[in-house]
Chains A and B, each alone.
Chain A
Amino acid sequence: MATLWNNYRYLFMRRFVQIGLLLLYFGANHWGWNILMGNLSSSSFLGVIPLSDPYAALQMLAAGAILATDLLIGVAIITIFYLLIGGRAFCSWVCPINMITDAAAFTRRFFDIDRNQKRQPATRYMRYWVLVLSLIISAVMGITAFEFISPISMVHRGIVFGLGFGWAAMLIIFLFDLFVLKNGWCGHICPLGGFYSLVGKFSLIKVKHTVENCTACMKCKLVCPEKQVLHMIDKESLPVLSGECTNCARCIEVCDDNALGFSIRELAKNKRTGE
């Protein structure tokens, strides 16, 4: 039991946060709770504090919409929050699509699809292209381009307000990740992930590698959904500085040698320079 907790503690906590947030939203719509109302695009915390998706606001800005004060406050709160804890913490701790793509990645590993399909024909920079493209389309068409096709919104909005054919979007992402491209949606295409990668560049909480403890078992790279960020494994004691790290902490819990752990950015830097 203790090892189970040790090996899955962050996974358990992430699922708790992800499902808990959805439950709060669901309760707000169905049972009149007023802890967290709305959905992940924009919510009202305790009926007072606005929280808004900064990427959606960016598209609105590109589309030429007038941004209201409540929205700007909400955007500021969310941006500062993710600037502190790591942008893509949204992806692994909040976004409901994460559960779908994690399931696909698990199934890939379980059935050895990864080993059968080694070549990855797409670049992870695609998400930044999609990000730029979404802003261009928003500007040209005067509409929030990604918000009208976002499977993320389809799913969280669907769970709170009624799914419709949203299950098809979930299935498409699952099958795409399972059979077409490993970590396809979250790791290659999703512009929201790309946006939060850029935000996360400057975040305080970082995973840190201690090379002295590393036995080069590479379990961390096996479970990591963004394994390019773990380039320092068995080479150097470095924090994971790339914003593409989702702070999901799977690497920390699979590591049996205490070679990976969370650290505060500045402390990590100081240790490196020996100050």
Chain B
Amino acid sequence: MSENRPKIERKEPLSDRRKFILTMARGVGVTALGGFVWSAFIDEVTASQLLLRPPGAIKEDDFLKTCIKCGLCVEACPFDTLLLAKPGDNKPLGTPYFIPREIPCYMCPDIPCVPVCPTGALDQSSVTTDEKLDINVADMGLAVIDDESCIAFWGIQCDACYRACPLLGEAITVVYEKNERTGKHAFMKPIVHADVCTGCGLCEKACVTEKAAIFVLPREVSMGRAGDYYIKGWDKEDEKRLVNAKEIKTQTRLSEKSAIDSLNDSGDLY
């Protein structure tokens, strides 16, 4: 019986060197595996852009790496405006934010949430004018109006947001326009001024429609950018914007001659 069995080749035991190399390879491999899963997860959970930060918050990218998630700003807020993102909120975990429709920022003049920040994720200098704290220069976001659902754009007289604005008459103004539909009435349309609005959200809180027709979005989301190709005509100030702009020239076969030349150089046409 035992003679019929094929002979099993016994392998030599692994050398210490091979063992070491294999163990290290396993360690590195598992670490790489974990690293990719971990990075992918982090990338997902920090992707949320629609999130309003406390006053003085630095740029979102820097905020995510600088905020230590201690909640001191949340504790300092006397109105319970600020919240820390919990697991399940689908927001970058542990970072402070607020939902203006629930509790807006009441723009305390002494801004208690900012000086308590131990890491500088809330930057005191960004809410300071003339060495004094100044909440009016805060930039938490920008209110935008959906003119489809804003009843003032329907012709109904409503100035709830205008009245609620802590920068009354500056961040939101009301413009009068003739109502061509009825021919007899006026529109009183609210307009948000991006250079003044702090994004506190008192307007969103005050809005009378079922779902707020005026709401605050982070500026990154609510604003476009014209870029360096366009300037305002007849505006010396705006031209300064282009002082450092670089010219990008594309050379193709067609553009070897300038456009003007190609029009002037029409000798052989006639």
Contacts of B155 in A (CB 8 A): none
* Nearest CB in chain A to that of B66: its residue: A65
* Nearest CB in chain B to that of A161: its residue: B84
Interface centre among B34, B35, B61 (most CB of A within 10 A): B35
A38 touches B75 (CB 8 A): yes
Q: Given A145-B38, A149-B41, A162-B86, A66–B70 Cβ distance below 8 Å? A: no
Which B residues from 111 to 169 make CB contacts under 8 A with A?
116, 118-120
B87 touches A71 (CB 8 A): no
- A101-138 vs B: 1/0 string, CB under 8 Å? 00000000000000000000000000001101100111
A37 touches B69 (CB 8 A): no
CB of A157 within 8 Å of the partner chain: yes
Which A residues from 129 to 168 make CB contacts under 8 A with B?
129-130, 132-133, 136-138, 140-145, 147-149, 153-154, 157-158, 160-166, 168
- B2-37 vs A: 1/0 string, CB under 8 Å? 000000000000000000000000010011001100
Within the assembled complex, what's the spacing in Å between the Cα atoms of A70 and B66?
13
One of B88-96, B177-185, B206-214, B238-246 at the interface:
B88-96
A154 touches B118 (CB 8 A): no
The interface size bin for chain A is 35 or more
CB of B253 within 8 Å of the partner chain: no
Min CB distance, A254 to chain B, in Å? 34
Contacts of A168 in B (CB 8 A): 87
B38 touches A149 (CB 8 A): yes
A162 touches B27 (CB 8 A): no
CB of B68 within 8 Å of the partner chain: yes
Contacts of B74 in A (CB 8 A): 29, 161
* Nearest CB in chain A to that of B63: its residue: A65
Contacts of B71 in A (CB 8 A): 29, 38-39, 157, 160-161
Contacts of A258 in B (CB 8 A): none
* Nearest CB in chain B to that of A123: its residue: B27
Contacts of A29 in B (CB 8 A): 71, 74-75
B68 touches A143 (CB 8 A): no
CB of B62 within 8 Å of the partner chain: yes
CB of A233 within 8 Å of the partner chain: no
CB of A56 within 8 Å of the partner chain: yes
CB of A261 within 8 Å of the partner chain: no
Q: Given A38-B71, A148-B45, A143–B64 Cβ distance below 8 Å? A: yes
B75 is contacted by which of A37, A142, A149 (Cβ under 8 Å)? A37
B68 is contacted by which of A53, A130, A142, A166 (Cβ under 8 Å)? A53
B75 touches A28 (CB 8 A): yes
User: What is the total of A-B residue contacts with beta carbons within 8 Å?
Assistant: 136
Contacts of A144 in B (CB 8 A): 64-65, 68
- A59-90 vs B: 1/0 string, CB under 8 Å? 01001111110110010000000000000000
A136 is contacted by which of B35, B45, B61, B120 (Cβ under 8 Å)? B35
The interface size bin for chain B is 35 or more
Within the assembled complex, what's the spacing in Å between the Cα atoms of A43 and B68?
10
A148 touches B92 (CB 8 A): yes
* Nearest CB in chain B to that of A169: its residue: B87
B72 touches A44 (CB 8 A): yes
A74 touches B69 (CB 8 A): no
A60 is contacted by which of B38, B39, B68, B92 (Cβ under 8 Å)? B68
Contacts of B50 in A (CB 8 A): none
Q: Given A161-B86, A165-B87, A71–B119 Cβ distance below 8 Å? A: yes
Q: Given A154-B87, A165-B87, A137–B68 Cβ distance below 8 Å? A: no
* Nearest CB in chain B to that of A30: its residue: B75
CB of B222 within 8 Å of the partner chain: no
Q: Given A44-B116, A66-B120, A133–B38 Cβ distance below 8 Å? A: yes
Apart from A130-B34, A137-B39, A161-B71, list 12 A-B contacts with CB within 8 A: A28-B75, A37-B75, A44-B72, A60-B119, A70-B119, A129-B27, A129-B31, A133-B34, A148-B93, A148-B94, A166-B86, A166-B87
The 10 closest A-B pairs by CB, nearest first: A164-B86, A42-B70, A165-B88, A68-B120, A63-B65, A165-B87, A38-B70, A164-B88, A70-B118, A65-B66
25 CB < 8 A contacts A-B: A37-B72, A37-B75, A39-B69, A42-B70, A42-B72, A43-B70, A52-B118, A53-B68, A63-B65, A64-B65, A65-B66, A65-B119, A66-B120, A133-B34, A136-B35, A137-B35, A140-B39, A141-B39, A141-B42, A145-B38, A145-B42, A148-B93, A160-B71, A161-B71, A162-B84
- Residues of B bordering A, CB below 8 Å: 27, 30-31, 34-35, 38-39, 41-43, 45-46, 61-62, 64-66, 68-72, 74-75, 83-84, 86-89, 92-94, 116, 118-120
